[in-house]
Amino acid sequence: MPPTPPTVSDDQSTLLTSDDPQLAANKKLVYDMYRIVLQGGHADRAKEFIREDYIQHNPNVPSGRAALENYVRATRPERPLKDVLELPLVTILAERDMVTMAFVRPEKDAHGNTYYSTWFDMFRIEDGKIAEHWDPMLKSDAPIDPNDKKID
């Protein structure tokens, strides 16, 4: 029996809503940064979303906005911007100054068979910009373009 991927959002715009206007703004900030900088590869636009003193907890990327811009330039091409994320987005959660995004991540096992995992990115917002980031990347992981992790 083939593996079944987790359910993804049919309408990403509904994930950006909140009864709290500040949480909705935080979700939109993170979503647009992911769409423009990480998916679109537009590293030059990072300053619109990310603080210069950005703290990075991915062990393969130094802290600082400039380091993130360099990582984006080195790991993905600049692409035309899309209105939605092409990665299979499960949900966006916001609480206090934190926003977490969860994505389905297709992988291959040692036999070349597809299985599904989940990738999480968590961001802390400060003064209307992203100030800090966490993800499950390991130091032993090769640099990646997450846009290669779409479901076929």
Into which CATH architecture does domain 13-137 fall? Roll (3.10)
Chain segment 83-114, per-residue pLDDT in tens: 999 989 999 999 999 999 999 888 888 998 88
Contacts of residue 8, Cβ cutoff 8 Å, sequence gap at least 6? 88, 89, 90, 104, 151
Beta strands across the sheet bearing 98-108: 50-56, 129-134, 114-126, 98-108, 89-95
Where the chain has pLDDT below 70, the residues are 1-2, 138-152
Domain ranges in the chain are 13-137
pTM (predicted TM-score): 0.88
